[in-house]
Every structure is written in structure tokens, then in C-alpha cells.
Copies of this chain bind each other. A is one copy, B any other.
Amino acid sequence: MLGLDPDPAALWPVASEGIASDADADPALDVAEAVRAHCGAVIDAAGGACVAVKPQLACFERLGAPGWAALAAVGDHARAAGLLVLADGKRGDVPVTAAAYAQALVGSTPSPFGEVKGLGADAFTANPLLGRDSLEPLIGAAAEAGAGCFLLVNTSNPGAADLQDIDAGGAPLHERVAALANEVGAAHVGECGLSLVGAVVGATRPERLARLRELMPRAIFLMPGVGAQGGSASALTPAFSPHPAAGLIAASRSIVGAHAERGGDPAAAAAAAAEELRALAWKSSAEQRG
């Protein structure tokens, strides 16, 4: 999965071509256009080795309304390239607000002026801290839209340990969250045996995968942190045990910024990095399945 976390200060050179900066204009318009072009170029270069893109909503939100328009355009670009779109926003709120986030991500909003379409994402990430009733509107909307909902179970950052590893009645909190994810996902298992409720499980702590797989036998694992955050794809085999598609490896900076290490053209370097990661992921998946 191709992470799109565009940093306006580190876009591919091709992204700024043809944008005539007007010093008096709102820079957000120019930057958002450059971000859109950058993400389009990244998708064109590396998308062939991926099943989905994962735009990081924060990186678009910080550009305001033009950024949100760029996000929608990047989603369209990815879909046109045959890729799924996973909106990575880690939303979580009380039920009435969770329902509004669901409308934004995978649904639409009724109004006297007509139905307002949301992002139309194929999947999204969500934060489970507010509990079951806060997840229901998100999961319900995902089910209706044929989309997926990935709950944060154990994130890839070092600080994750502060709360997620707290001892909660004999097991670390993240295992309790895993049990909750398994429970809320049980009613939404497809023919392939996988639930629409998946789990974000950092690739940075692969030694936990076997236990988490036990707790969530039907969840697709979304595994960020490969590459820039130090995780290695080859350690992730347990994720693939129930199904060849039960693990999704996410990488962004190690692909989009591959030219910094490899040299040469950003697009060629990204394509090569994505291809290598795909090969590794398939190997992990095949090893697990024998």
C-alpha cells in the first residue's frame, strides 16, 4: 500500500512545473495544486506495484479547502489507476459525530439542496478509544458502502507503549483493543473469511503479530512503519496466515523518497522501491502459506 504523506517542502520537482506562483495570491492554491500533481506522479510511478493508496488526511488538511479538494482529486486519480483508496485520518468521536465522519469518508450527507457526497474512500482508519458505540456508525457505514474500517490496535510509534502497552487485567491494553476489534468485526465477515473491520498493527513490533493474529483471526492487518520507521517486511509473515490478502504493508517515505538513497529520477527510484517491497510482501505471504 502506497502511503501519500505529501510534504510541500519535499515534492518531486515535476510537481511544481507549470505552476506560476503569484506572490499576491493565497499560496494554499499553488501548494495544493503542486501536492495534487506530486501525488499523481507518485501514483503513476509506483501504483503498479500496489493495491491501494493511503493518503494521510493531515497532510491535505493543513492546506485548508484547497488541500481537501486536492485530496478528492488524488483519490480520483488513484481509482482511475485501478487502486483502492484508504483514507488515513484515525478519526474517533462520540456516536453522533462518528456518524458525520462516516458521511465524510464513505457516505454522503442529506441536505435540502441534495445529497453531498463524501470522499468515497474504499477504507479508512479509526481510533477506538471512545469505545463500541463510537465505532458502530463507522462500521455500519463501511458495511453499507462495501468499505473497510481499520482500528488502531498497536501503532508503529515508540510512544505507543505509553498507553497501548499498559497492563489491563493481565494483558496489555492493545490486546484488549484487539479483542474489541475482533468482536465488532464478527458480524461483518465476508465469503473470503475476512472481516471488514481490520487492524492497524505497526510493522515495527513484528514479534507481536502471532498473538494479535490469534486474537483477530478474521482481521486484515494494515502494517505501517516498514522502511522509514524501521520495520522490515520479511518479519511480517504471521499476518498472512488466514489469507494471502490478510496483510497490507504500508510504506510511504521509503518509496516516495527512494531517490534520496538510490539516486536518479524520483519516479524510477519509487517504482523500483515499490517493486522490491511488493516482491518481499509476496514472499512473506507465500512463506506463511508454505
Residues on A lying within 8 angstroms of B by beta carbon are 5, 8-9, 16, 19, 21, 23, 27-28, 30-31, 34, 56, 58-59, 61-69, 72, 90-98, 100-101, 103-104, 109-119, 127-135, 152, 155-164, 166-169, 173, 176-177, 180, 224, 229
Contacts and interface: CB of A to CB of B under 8 A. Distances in A.
Overall SS of chain A's interface: helix
Contact of A65 (B72, B109, B113, B133): B72
A110 to B, nearest CB: 6
B168 A16 contact: no
Given A31-B116, A127-B129, A163-B173, 11 more contacts: A27-B113, A64-B69, A65-B65, A65-B66, A65-B69, A92-B92, A130-B163, A130-B164, A131-B158, A131-B160, A168-B173
Given A58-B100, A152-B129, A112 B159 contact: no
A157 B129 contact: no
22 contacts: A8-B109, A8-B116, A9-B110, A27-B111, A28-B117, A62-B103, A62-B118, A63-B109, A64-B68, A90-B91, A90-B92, A92-B92, A94-B224, A127-B129, A129-B152, A129-B164, A130-B157, A130-B159, A130-B160, A131-B160, A131-B162, A131-B164
Sorted nearest first, the 3 A-B pairs with minimum C-beta distance are A131-B159, A133-B159, A131-B162
Number of this chain's copies in the assembly equals 2
Nearest to A63: B116
A56 B162 contact: no
A176 B166 contact: yes
B65 A8 contact: no
A229 B58 CA distance: 29
A163 B23 CA distance: 50
A159 B95 CA distance: 9
A161 B131 contact: yes
Nearest to A73: B65
Contacts of A91: 58, 90
